[in-house]
Amino acid sequence: MTTLTLTDGSTATARLDLTDLSPGHRQTQKITVTFAGSAPATIALYAPDAADTPLARRLRVSIFEHAGALMPFPVFQGTLADLTTHTSYDTGFGRWTGRTQRTVDYEVMAHLPAEAPAPTGTHAEITLTAEARPLGAPLEAAA
Better-scored residue on pLDDT, 1 or 42: 42
DSSP string across 40-90: -EEEEEE--S---SHHHHH-EEEEEEE-TTSPPEEEEEEEHHHHTT--SGG
Give the separation between CA 73 and CA 65, rounded to whole angstroms.
5
In a domain, 83, yes or no: yes
Better-scored residue on pLDDT, 123 or 8: 8
Give the separation between CA 66 and CA 26, rounded to whole angstroms.
19
In a domain, 141, yes or no: no
Grouping H, G, I as helix, E, B as strand and the rest as coil, residue 23 is strand
In a domain, 142, yes or no: no
| Distances, alpha carbon 48 to alpha carbons 37, 71, 100, 141, in Å | 23, 28, 26, 18
Dihedral sign, Cα of residue 58, residue 33, residue 14, residue 129: positive
Mean pLDDT of 14-32: 90
- Given this model, what pLDDT does residue 19 score? 84
- Given this model, what pLDDT does residue 100 score? 78
Q: pLDDT band for position 142 (50/70/90)?
A: very low
Question: Does the pLDDT value for residue 138 go beyond 80?
Answer: no
- Given this model, what pLDDT does residue 108 score? 96
Beta bridge partners of 32: 3, 105
In a domain, 76, yes or no: yes
Q: What is the pTM of this model?
A: 0.88
The backbone torsions φ and ψ at residue 107, rounded to the nearest 5 degrees and listed phi first, read -110, 120
In a domain, 59, yes or no: yes
In a domain, 19, yes or no: yes
In a domain, 143, yes or no: no
User: Residue 85 belongs to a domain with what CATH number?
Assistant: 2.60.120
- Given this model, what pLDDT does residue 136 score? 72
Q: Are the C-beta atoms of residues 103 and 34 closer than 8 Å to each other?
A: yes
Mean pLDDT of 11-30: 90
Question: Does the pLDDT value for residue 127 go beyond 90?
Answer: yes
In a domain, 105, yes or no: yes
Structural domain containing residue 85:
2-134
